[in-house]
Structure 1
């Protein structure tokens, strides 16, 4: 059973969302503040983290940073306002996606399923080599200069999308559809900030920005 960790300080929202997700077949652990959420995370066994941005003790941004120090578990941020600063800060800290509250349960479940698919996808056995970057789609591993890179499922899926189309410019809407599974117009900041995080790991010059169009992986 997929195990979710929901960290939300509003008790009504926490209980309502938790029960709704359990009806979809998920096991849900909950916490009411960031520090309690961090302790639950450290107990292990969670497949996806759902973190509110505004949390007492340790906010969602700080919690995301603490988690990313030790784990690449998928993280979905929940923002009450959809405020640009909240969204950007969450994604820069290492979150994979975000939703704006109040969120429809079906939409939330779709986002969770998308995150889980990224972590479990296999795309063939042949290794892909781009300079000092070696991608193993079957083993779901990436090495640079002989050292293994710690990529989140979203970062790995994004890199695989680029690697499947070397030298081809991919626009943001294509990446949102193929990586984030958005069937509608999503927030392009999700793409831009994930590309920024990916560049920091694979090399800033490996993924090129084509202004006005999108991004491409250098051959």
Structure 2
């Protein structure tokens, strides 16, 4: 799929901000769906094949946290959160609920578009049907499916990227800085706690195989087939 054909759901209750985002998306060749409240956002998400969600937190009817949580029950598509608050707890809660990235208002629409393009190009450029298997975990780079001992699990976009990167570099120590650069680029606004949060969620979803992701003190992480 060409990234220019991707469909983006924009969930923002401020009309002017939503229109600006939609205009930028259309100018960059994306299809855009619009929702001014959480209820409409979930309705559109369920009725359409959406590739990425831009999600405001403070929304009428159903708040952004609830929308994020409900999307994550069935989908691992990228979610970029928009928030007017810079509280660290807000960003960490977003990551714990499965968000992939966030921007604090006011933000540059160009920065937002760069993040959208980065996420969707990664998804579109994946090598078809290339598989990685190690330690009872099977990861398919083409379909972006993951199974543990034959049982499928649902990972977010970022969790999938972290697992793929670690498995592709099995046995090597990958620093948090390397993960941040690989996943978000040099313009990332968060910190290492963001990586820790995603790793924690990923280990939980991998169940007994979560111990394959080993923390290397003061360095980073590595993937090993040796169960601890």
TM-score when scaled to structure 1?
A: 0.91
Shift of 1:145: 1.0
Alignment of 1:27-66 (within 5 A): 27-66=31-70
User: Which deviates more from structure 2 when the two are superposed, residues 58-67 or residues 130-139?
Assistant: 130-139
Structure 2 gaps of 5+ residues are: none
> How far apart are the structure 2 equivalents of 1:189 and 1:205?
19
Other-structure match for 1:163: 167
> How far apart are the structure 2 equivalents of 1:48 and 1:111?
11
Moved over 4 A (4+): 123-126
> How far apart are the structure 1 equivalents of 2:216 and 2:32?
42
> How far apart are the structure 1 equivalents of 2:174 and 2:27?
38
Shift of 1:16: 2.1
User: Which deviates more from structure 2 when the two are superposed, residues 56-65 or residues 117-126?
Assistant: 117-126
User: Which deviates more from structure 2 when the two are superposed, residues 13-22 or residues 89-98?
Assistant: 13-22
Of 11, 19, 24 in structure 2, the residue corresponding to residue 20 of structure 1 is: 24
Of 208, 211, 214 in structure 1, the residue corresponding to residue 214 of structure 2 is: 208
Aligned residues: 218
> How far apart are the structure 2 equivalents of 1:100 and 1:37?
20
> How far apart are the structure 2 equivalents of 1:149 and 1:121?
22
Q: Residue 114 of structure 2: SS of its match in structure 1?
A: helix
Q: Within the alignment, does 1:154 sit opposite 2:166 as a pair?
A: no
> How far apart are the structure 2 equivalents of 1:113 and 1:126?
23
RMSD: 1.9
Structure 1 gaps of 5+ residues are: none
Q: Residue 212 of structure 1: SS of its match in structure 2?
A: coil
